[in-house]
A and B are shown apart, each in its own frame.
Chain A
Amino acid sequence: MYRNTILRKVRDQRLLHDVTLELTYHCNLNCFYCYNDRGKQGSSLSLRRYKILLEDLARMQTLFLMLTGGEPMLHPHFFEIGRIARELGFVIRIRTNGHTLDSRNIERLLHEVDPYMIEVSLHGACAEVHDRQTRVTGSFDRLIRHLRYARSAGLRCVTVATPTAWNEHQIEEMAALGDELGAPLRFQGPVAPRDNGDITPLSIQPSRETWDRIKALVSARRPRRTTAETKDSLNPEVTSESGLEKPATCSVGLVGVVIDPYGNVQACMHLLESAGNLHHQSIEEIWNHSPLFVRARQRAIDAATVFDGKKHHQFGAPLFCLAVEENCAKSCGSRKQYEP
């Protein structure tokens, strides 16, 4: 019902349903494959600007708000922004590395932000693997400690893993660890180049066989549904194209935007072209009048034609991201990465 009815209306009427706020690019970890361009420059949005933005979004009936980064909890006004968002009735999700998710911050999250979901990055099933990727010794033990407390305090958590050459031997163990922690594991990928075009992260791309293993694992773990209605997925990302719409590689430009720490409004967190800046325009003006979203959508439609109806793949992962292609091209010339 949610997908068939609501998302259809959201798309048909171009309602801004889902917003991601990249609050900061600062981070207390140093992940080898982090895609953020920490050299990106700009004037950070003030708390006042965030308040105006959130009030505008509430008026526009935006439902989902993702707070991410960098590490979003390092933003000096993280809790104020979260509290305002909660008061304005957004369904808040927080994507964090978990390093700052200590007992004090968990209590503050529960009482001030009241998030729907916490998404925590998991890099391995043991300290040796996890800490190798985060490049911070002790980060695994700390994460596990924090996750256990978060779950016991009542926060709904999921873990998110990007398969790499360093952790691909632990795919099953990571899934089991997520279960044991009460924070089910979701896989994402492929490893992407950094947003500035640095392709160093691609050196730890996992094997294609790993994605086949993941596919089998996910399939085996998928619950068998007996009822559908109120168990709809809350993920607003549109994963299947249907009806009269032209096939596209993703839902870019249709239902959501990403806003970087400097107020740039983007169609996707990796497609860096800005549709407008919140220092100069309101989100309503940008969403309703920038041609960038239509262009991004057209690019996703054009990209889909390459696959000719077959499933999308990129570096073995079961998706195709325009931005991975674009950011690769910054370093690789016009070399194509996708293989239909």
Chain B
Amino acid sequence: MKMSETNPNSEERFRLSDRVLYRAVDDEGVLVHLENGRVMVVNEVALYIVRELDRQAITVSELAESVSCAFEVDAPRARVDVLLFLDQLREEQAIDTLASAGEEPTAG
């Protein structure tokens, strides 16, 4: 089930998989998945989200708020964009999900 079509648990935290490496190239990003070898090219906003996910395990609400502040967009719009991108990252097995504080991560 896609996160963008449901209301994810507000306690659920996401973080970038340690199987994913990334670099900034100007205002875009390149993500490389070490397991499946796949490459993703992402835009500036997505690169910002990737960096946030790499920095800490974070909820959808926290991410949306952070994106809203950084890019001066309204919070509902930021939340939609965050959910869509998290869906993409989950499809690519590029994020881990932590259901609640201290729980072991699961891929995707």
Give chain A's interface residues, CB within 8 Å of chain B.
Answer: 1-2, 5-6, 9-10, 13, 15, 17, 61-63, 89-91, 114, 116, 156, 230-232, 234
Contact = CB atoms under 8 A, between A and B. Distances in A.
B21 A234 contact: no
Given A2-B30, A6-B30, A10-B25, A234 B41 contact: no
B23 interface: yes
Given A91-B32, A116-B32, A230-B92, A61 B25 contact: yes
**Interface majority SS on B: helix, strand, loop or mixed?**
strand
Most buried by B among A9, A61, A90, A114: A61
Given A63-B32, A234-B32, A89 B38 contact: no
Contact of B39 (A15, A61, A234): A234
Contacts of A61: 23-25
Which 6 A-B residue pairs are closest in the complex by CB-CB distance? Answer: A63-B23, A1-B41, A230-B38, A61-B23, A232-B39, A9-B26
A156 B22 CA distance: 19
Given A5-B41, A89-B23, A232-B39, A114 B28 contact: no
Contacts of B26: 9, 13, 15
27 contacts: A1-B41, A2-B30, A2-B41, A5-B41, A6-B28, A9-B25, A9-B26, A9-B28, A15-B25, A61-B23, A61-B24, A61-B25, A62-B23, A63-B23, A63-B25, A89-B22, A90-B21, A91-B32, A91-B34, A116-B32, A116-B34, A116-B37, A230-B39, A230-B92, A231-B38, A232-B39, A232-B41
Interface in B66-108: 92
A183 to B, nearest CB: 14
**Interface majority SS on A: helix, strand, loop or mixed?**
loop
Contacts of B28: 5-6, 9
Contacts of A156: 37
Contacts of A1: 41
A149 to B, nearest CB: 19
A116 B34 CA distance: 6
A240 B60 CA distance: 41
A63 B34 CA distance: 13
A89 B37 contact: no
Most buried by A among B22, B34, B38: B34
